[in-house]
A and B are shown apart, each in its own frame.
Chain A
Amino acid sequence: MREVLRLVTQNGVHKKTAKGFSFLRPDEPGFAFLLNAPAVLLILLLVAYPMVHSVWLSLHNYHLKRPGRFPFVGLANYLKVLSSPEFWNAAKITAVFASSSILGVVLLGALLALILNESFPGRGILRALVLLPWAMPPIVNALMWVWIFDGRLGAFNGLLYSLGIIDSYRVWLSNPVISLPIVIFAHVWNHVPFAAIVILAALQAIPVELYDAAKVDRAGVLQTFRHVTLPWLWQAITIVLILETMTAMRVFDEVYMMTAGGPGSATTVLAWLTYQTAFLTLDFGLGNTYSVILSIVTTVLTVLYIAVLSRRGDIQA
């Protein structure tokens, strides 16, 4: 209410004094729009319009191999997708990929944050090193694990062989049971630092007095963790959960590099199926249908994310 009053009086005063190019003054509402104009225009052209266009394309038969033909087919593509076993298989693999990698990222991230929050010699160096996986491009991350799990020369084979666990080298990435867990493992390695950093920041925000109080109450380590630490971490963990769900839902680089969706369709996640349909089979109509479905799922998550943020009062909605 006070804000509204301030706005009203400000504008009132202003209208009396402003002359000429009044929109160039910072206290004029048009000025704020002017400052946002370049960003808004670019995002409208390259994000908002493509989003709408993508929905439009998904309602058509649109095959790059048959140029000139662009019939409107309504929801036919969606019906086709929703009744195809290919889609449901990819959806299932994406769900497995997302749920296990998110669990891995959050648990390992929290563990890492708890360790890095203690004091020990070399903590500063370790905190800096945690940024290494974060700085690594996903493609290089994938390359690294391709090389480690290489069937002919890989370090993983070498390690197991030297320890006497296996008696001959094995091909890991083309094993239909193991390939998905390996891609998940690689993805988790790349994303743990982000979770660790955000959770560590939340840990550092906990007032020391609370721990002192817990000590006075003779609370044990686990009790202190449950009743003092954990309540302060929920918000950070929820946000990491949602952001990581979004990244995991759209995983592409690792799959492209490590398995190309295979062996068979063992690692064919939704993003890979979309890429395959649109850019290898050149079926833009069907490809868009997949990507619209992906956006719908993501949008639900985004709304959830915004809800979490605004409950914290970080966004004034």
Chain B
Amino acid sequence: MKRSIWKKILLFVAALFVFLYIVAPFSWVVITSLMSETEASSVPPHWIPDNPTLKNYALFVTGGKGGEAAKTSDAWSPQSVKRLPIAFRNSSIVAISVALLNLSMGAPAAYALARLRFRGSNLMLMGYLFSRMLPGLSLIIPMYLIIRKLGLLDTLPGLVLPYTALTLPFTIWILRSYFMTIPRELEDAAKVDRCNWFNMMWRVFLPVAAPGLVASAMFSFMASWKEFLFALIFSSSMAAKTVPVIVAEFNDPQVVPRTIMNASGVVAVIPPLLLAVLFQRLIIQGLVAGSVKG
């Protein structure tokens, strides 16, 4: 009896530590983003803001002219804050396109690998697995040359294509493992009803596979949203710069004050975090299936 109480206390303390480890660092970013610049400059820091404000976030829309931001001593360029919304739009277009392309190219491939027995299927599977493992960095120079040849440098398609190629193997991998959990009887029943294959897929199979499809779309969306290196090298203007590129540019007090840098970090986390919260169960299943089950 006594032992179980000690165990409970120990567990509580451990859980508290885990909570702090996970939550404390990011809360500091959020807290700073709600401060005025003067308050964020206090030594030692204010752990709780005196007058929390959303002004830093409003600046992304209105630009940095006037107001408190203009009065600060740092000679930062007020208009640069307006780049974040444009980058947000770019990132959204890229990530959504990559997710849709992944589904339309990945689902048929995964179906073939899960259901149809054909010569070379194992080889193909290994090929996908292998290409998933190659570091993006070792492909980036020749890919840069290809994208340049196609005239797609500094355009959104110039990011969508490489991202799709890099995420597709993982999509096929987890879709295949999801498809294999769907009972075959489903398609047999459709066959008896003299449904042709395309009808069967569209009306019967894909709706049943929806959770797997959503999960894989989400993984490719998130991977594109988080990606930095390719975006850094393939983009040179606001025509194609994505959120991580702009956030990296903001890491300089000469460009924007630290409060705004932190606000940009919070904005950049919102979409993936929202997806992670909404689809928690699917993500956890997908991560496990994608790495272990195969």
Instruction: State yes or no: do A and B come from one complex.
Output: yes
Q: Using CB atoms and an 8 Å cutoff, list the residues of chain A in contact with chain B.
A: 3, 6-7, 24-27, 29, 31-33, 35-36, 38-40, 42-43, 45-51, 53-54, 57, 112, 115-116, 118, 120, 122-123, 126-140, 143-148, 150, 153, 155, 157-158, 161-162, 169, 189, 194, 197-198, 201-202, 235-236, 239-240, 243, 246, 249-250, 252-253, 256-257, 271, 274-275, 278-279, 284, 287-288, 291-292, 294-295, 298-299, 301-302, 305-306, 309, 314-317
Closest residue of A by beta carbon distance from B163: A46
In the complex, which residues of chain B have a beta carbon less than 8 angstroms from the beta carbon of A115?
A: 11, 14-15, 18
B292:A46 contact, CB within 8 angstroms: no
A158 with B45: CB separation less than 8 A:
yes
**What residue of chain A has the Cβ atom nearest to residue B24's Cβ?**
A155
A47 and B248 contacting across the interface, CB-CB below 8 Å: no
Q: B123 to nearest A CB, angstroms?
A: 10
Tell me the nearest residue of chain B to A186, going by C-beta: B25
Instruction: Give every chain A residue within 8 A of B25 (Cβ-Cβ).
Output: 144-145, 148, 189
Main secondary structure of the interface of B (DSSP, over half): helix
Which of B56-64, B137-145, B207-215 lies at the binding interface? B137-145
- Determine the chain A residues whose CB is within 8 A of the CB of B108 once the complex forms: 35-36, 38-39
A99–B105 CA distance with the chains assembled, in angstroms:
37
B97: interface (CB < 8 Å): no
Assess whether B294 is in contact with A46, with CB atoms less than 8 Å apart.
no
Instruction: Please tell me if the beta carbons of A33 and B118 are within 8 angstroms of each other in the complex.
Output: yes
- Decide yes or no: A50 and B8 within 8 Å by CB, A120-B15, A257-B251, A306-B126 being known contacts: no
**Which of the segments B65-73, B78-86, B224-232 contacts the partner chain?**
B224-232
Contact present for B117 and A3 (CB under 8 Å) = yes
Complex Cα distance, B18 from A135, in Å, reads 17
A interface secondary structure, majority: helix
Residues from chain A with Cβ under 8 Å of B117 in the complex: 3, 6-7
Can you sample 30 A-B contacts with CB below 8 Å?
A24-B197, A25-B197, A29-B116, A32-B121, A33-B112, A36-B113, A39-B172, A42-B165, A43-B131, A46-B146, A53-B142, A54-B142, A132-B273, A132-B276, A138-B228, A138-B244, A139-B228, A150-B258, A153-B40, A157-B44, A197-B284, A235-B292, A252-B229, A253-B228, A256-B228, A256-B232, A279-B233, A291-B141, A299-B133, A309-B294
Question: Bound state CA distance, A301 and B138, in angstroms?
Answer: 15
The CA of A144 and the CA of B136, in the complex, are separated in Å by: 24
Contact of A45 among B15, B165, B197 (CB under 8 A): B165
- Which chain B positions have C-beta within 8 A of A169? 43
B168's contact among A42, A140, A253, by CB below 8 Å, is which?
A42
With a CB–CB cut-off of 8 A, which chain B residues contact A35? 108-109, 111-112, 116
Given contacts A144-B29, A146-B251, 19 further A-B contacts (CB under 8 A): A39-B109, A50-B143, A50-B146, A54-B142, A120-B11, A126-B15, A128-B280, A135-B272, A137-B226, A139-B248, A155-B28, A155-B45, A189-B25, A197-B288, A252-B229, A274-B137, A291-B140, A295-B135, A295-B138
What is the chain B residue whose CB lies nearest that of A125?
B19
**In the complex, A133→B50 CA distance in Å?**
27
* Count of chain A to chain B residue pairs whose CB atoms are closer than 8 Å in the complex: 287
Q: For residue B90, which residues in chain A have a CB less than 8 angstroms away from its CB?
A: none
Within 8 Å by CB of B161, from A32, A46, A274, lies: A46
Chain B residues lying within 8 Å of A53, measured Cβ to Cβ, are 142, 145
Say yes or no: B15 contacts A139, CB within 8 Å: no
Q: Which of A50, A116, A243, A257 contacts B291 (CB 8 A)?
A: A243
Q: Using Cβ atoms and an 8 Å threshold, which residues of chain A touch B134?
A: 47, 51, 295, 298-299
Q: Residues of A contacting B122 with CB < 8 Å? A: 315-317
Q: Contacts A198-B288, A239-B292, A302-B130 hold; do A32 and B118 have CB atoms under 8 A apart? A: yes
**Could you say which residues of chain A place their CB within 8 Å of the CB of B11?**
115, 118, 120
In the complex, chain B residues whose CB is within 8 Å of the CB of A128? 277, 280
- Give the chain B neighbours of A301 by CB distance below 8 A: 133
B255 at the interface (CB under 8 A from A): no
* Interface residue from A32, A140, A295 paired with B116 (Cβ < 8 Å): A32
Q: Which residues of B contact A (CB under 8 A)?
A: 8, 11-12, 14-15, 18-19, 21-23, 25-26, 28-29, 32, 40-41, 43-45, 104-106, 108-109, 111-113, 115-119, 121-122, 124-131, 133-143, 145-146, 161-162, 164-166, 168-169, 172, 197, 222, 225-226, 228-229, 232-233, 243-244, 247-248, 250-251, 258, 261-262, 265, 268-269, 272-273, 275-277, 280, 283-284, 287-288, 291-294
Alpha-carbon gap, A126 to B233, bound state (A): 37
Cα–Cα distance between A155 and B21 once the two chains are bound (Å): 14
Contact yes or no, B165 A131, CB < 8 A:
no
Among B25, B137, B165, B283, the most chain A Cβ lie within 10 Å of the Cβ of: B137
Cβ contact within 8 Å between B44 and A257: no
**Distance, CA A35 to CA B176, complexed state (A):** 13
Q: How far is the CA of A209 from the CA of B277 in the complex (A)?
A: 33
A144 in contact with B284 (CB, 8 Å): no
